[in-house]
Copies of this chain bind each other. A is one copy, B any other.
């Protein structure tokens, strides 16, 4: 029997992306799509690509479900949960940043939902804080080194597609401005730095400095990052370290070929490449910010928490071109 699912904030990018995934997931059925602002509208009127895929009407009345995804603006998940009590039996996956650093809320203790490090804790969990998009790309690029204590200071540049900024109309999401353009934002102060450091440090109890410069790119989907650091390890040693670390991770590939962003667009995968020159190493990583960086990882976390195969509903055809 299929499990029931509700999506709160279903009218945003990550909410609609969850619908695109869950509509074809064999173990679940969508029970309700919650939206305060668009209640009463058909989701396929907001996202016509969902025509025939999902013709549900948005509601502002949640029901009891087996799995609840919260796709709200950052800091609004707490309010929603406070106003809409959820059964302890319901698996709650929060895609916002409310519970990534502050893990406790009422009787719930949120597990940080990066399966590549927390798979055991996620199994059977009822409360999952889904990581941020940049945070996912950077952590996957650095965790194998951090865990061994090989990481002291790192200089990371990352570039993100426009979907990372959400569907609101802003000067920096206007096509005329963004097309063919590149720019930096939140230099050294991006909100994901703390989230990354928490995991890097907890993996080895060693202080790490992360200097992160985020850029806006002129594409819609995807994140590409390059992290530069000093190390005496040989390239082969680093690659082996990463191969070992991700041996059981079905969605992470350590590549000996050059990687590029479109290798992962429209998939739940992360590709990583390591390069070395003298005593400097550079770790590149790429993900689809809406999938491995948000909704895909949320489904992966649900699969693990529910005891299903980790890749269920996530065998996605890459867009490739």
Contact = CB atoms under 8 A, between A and B. Distances in A.
Contacts of A257: 45, 48
Contacts of A189: 277
Given A176-B173, A262-B177, A317 B320 contact: no
B51 A183 contact: no
A45 to B, nearest CB: 7
A310 to B, nearest CB: 13
A292 to B, nearest CB: 13
A174 B169 contact: yes
Contacts of A290: 321
Nearest to A288: B319
B167 A169 contact: no
B48 A187 contact: no
Nearest to A281: B188
Contacts of A157: 157, 213, 226
A280 interface: yes
Contacts of A259: 48, 183-184
A240 B151 CA distance: 35
A253 B282 CA distance: 31
B180 A221 contact: yes
A16 interface: yes
Contact of A262 (B155, B181, B284): B181
Contacts of A280: 188, 211
Nearest to A24: B315
Given A255-B51, A258-B183, A320 B162 contact: no
Interface in A127-165: 155, 157, 159, 161-163
Closest 8 CB pairs of A and B: A169-B169, A183-B260, A157-B157, A155-B155, A188-B277, A49-B318, A180-B219, A175-B178
B213 A163 contact: no
Nearest to A154: B155
Contacts of A228: 155, 188, 211, 213
Interface in A233-256: 250, 253, 255
